[in-house]
Amino acid sequence: MREKENKTFLTDKQIAILKMKKKGMSQADIARNKKTTRGNICIIEKTALRNIERANNTIKFYKALEAPISLTIPIGTDLYDIPKKIFKAADKKRIKICVDAAMVVVKLKTQAPYKMHGRLITNEIDISADEYGNITIN
């Protein structure tokens, strides 16, 4: 079935395969249904997921670019010092951050675990906040 208007970064094949996966079908089931190999389905699915990740990263980048608050947390910063930096920058712009310090730490640990070791930041972290106080971690 051909989509009337595909306004995404995904091909019609990728959309069809992702829909089938969402319904619980295995790659082997999809391959039989599409009369192709499981390997081909695997490649199409992997490419689709990579395209989705890149689109999400593009949106995050754009939001950070437009955000009134933008911080780069340097290597060597203590994880527990980051909320203070965010709140200080927000106070200067008269923006109320939507989460408390503990939730900032949780967001950092879940969204950028590969950028820290224990409490120490090992790779720079870009953090932005929009005018409503929503934080984005890049």
* Same domain as 130, residue 76: yes
The whole domain housing 82 covers 67-137
Does 7 reside within a domain? Answer: no
pLDDT at 88: 96
Specify if 1 maps to a domain: no
Cα 50 to the center of its chain, rounded Å: 12
Question: Last residue of a domain, which of 62, 77, 103?
Answer: 62
How many domains does one find in the chain? 2
What is the per-residue pLDDT for 3? 47
Confidence of residue 5 (pLDDT cuts 50, 70, 90): low
Cβ atoms < 10 Å from Cβ of 29: 15
Q: Each residue of 72-96: pLDDT tens digit?
A: 999 999 999 999 999 999 999 999 9
Query: In this structure, are 25 and 83 located in the same domain?
Result: no
Q: Which of 95-117 are b and which e, b meaning 16 or more Cβ less than 10 Å from the residue's Cβ?
A: bebeeeeeebbebbeeebeebbe
Is pTM beyond 0.75? Reply is no
Q: How far is the C-alpha of 33 from the C-alpha of 29, rounded, in Å?
A: 6
| 125 membership: H or E segment, kind and range | strand 125-129
Q: Classify burial at 21, counting beta carbons within 10 Å of its beta carbon; exposed 0-12, middle 13-18, buried 19 or more.
A: middle
Last residue of a domain, one of 62, 82, 99: 62
pLDDT mean over 65-77: 91
pLDDT in tens, 97-123: 999 999 999 999 999 999 999 999 999
pLDDT for 23 equals 96
